[in-house]
Amino acid sequence: MDKPLLVHKHENLMYGVCVLISITLVIYLLLSIIGALILFIVGLVSFFSHAISMSHIQVNGVRLKVNQFPELYNRVEEISSKMELSKLPEVYIVESGGLLNAFATKVFSFLGKNIVVLYSDFVDICLKSNGNEIDYVIAHELAHIKRNHIRKFFFIFPALWIPFIGTSYSRMAEYTCDRMAAYYTEKPEDAIKGLLVLAAGRRLYKGVNLKEYLEQYNDKKGLFVTLMELLSTHPPIPKRIQEIENLMYGKPSVSLINRKKQTFAILFLVFFLLPIIVGGVAFAGFMAMEHFNTFDDFLFEYTPLMEATGDGDTERVIELIHAGEDPNEMNEFGESPLFIAVMHEDIEIIKILLENGADPNIQDPEGWAPLMSAVYTENIEVSTILLEAGADPLIMDDYGMTAIDYAKEIGNNDFIRLTNSFISD
Domain boundary assignment for the chain: 11-257, 260-290, 293-359, 366-425
pLDDT, residue 130, reads 63
Residue 204's pLDDT is what? 87
Lowest mean pLDDT among 6-10, 33-37, 253-257, 385-389: 33-37
Mean predicted confidence (pLDDT) in 188-199: 90
What pLDDT does 74 receive?
A: 93
362-373 pLDDT per residue, tens: 999 999 999 999
pTM: 0.65
User: Is the pLDDT reported for residue 299 higher than 70?
Assistant: no
Residue 247, pLDDT > 90, answer yes
Average pLDDT score over residue span 361-387: 92
- Residue 218: pLDDT over 80: yes
The CATH superfamily assigned to 293-359 is: Ankyrin repeat-containing domain (1.25.40.20)
Residue 107 has pLDDT above 80, yes or no: no
What pLDDT does 259 receive? 85
223-235: average pLDDT? 90
Residue 67 scores a pLDDT above 90: yes
Whole-angstrom distance, CA of residue 32 vs CA of residue 29: 6
- What integer best gives the mean pLDDT of the chain? 87
pLDDT confidence bin for 1, thresholds 50/70/90: very low
Which region among 27-36, 58-67, 204-213, 298-307 has the lowest average model confidence (pLDDT)? 298-307
Superfamily of domain 366-425: Ankyrin repeat-containing domain (1.25.40.20)
Instruction: Examine the pLDDT at 124 and tell me if it is beyond 90.
Output: no
User: Residue 200 above 60 pLDDT?
Assistant: yes
Same fold, 293-359 and 366-425: yes
User: Stretch 260-266: mean pLDDT, rounded?
Assistant: 82
pLDDT at 66: 94
pLDDT band, very low/low/confident/very high, at 260 (cuts 50, 70, 90): confident
Average pLDDT over residues 67-73: 92
Task: Indicate whether 294 pLDDT > 60.
Answer: no
pLDDT tens per residue, range 77-93: 999 999 999 899 999 99
Measuring CA to CA, which residue among 81, 84, 63 is closest to residue 72? 63
Task: Specify the pLDDT at position 408.
Answer: 92
When pLDDT is cut at 50, 70 and 90, the band that residue 324 belongs to is very high
What pLDDT was estimated at residue 101?
67
pLDDT tens digits for 337-348? 999 999 999 999
